[in-house]
Amino acid sequence: MTYYDAIRDARLYCGYSQKEVAEKLGVSKMQISKWETGEGSAPNLSRLIQLANVYDISIDKLVGRS
């Protein structure tokens, strides 16, 4: 599983829309979409920590290393 698949799957499992996650992180919905499709750069460590906290999962699981 790629990191972007894991990020998308975590969001879907939690039942959040891309817009909801974007608002929680203070980024654009487009940025969330890019992270979930692997377009552009991956989220930096600070954003990964924030995403893991929002989804209540480990960073390892968030990047597909579970």
- CA dist 25 and 47 (Å) reads 8
CATH no. of 3-58: 1.10.260.40
* pLDDT (0 to 100) of residue 1: 85
Which pLDDT tens digit goes with each residue over 18-60?
Answer: 999 999 999 999 999 999 999 988 999 999 999 999 999 999 9
Place of tokens 């377009």: 39
Specify whether the CB–CB gap between 36 and 7 falls below 8 A. Answer: yes
pLDDT score for 65: 85
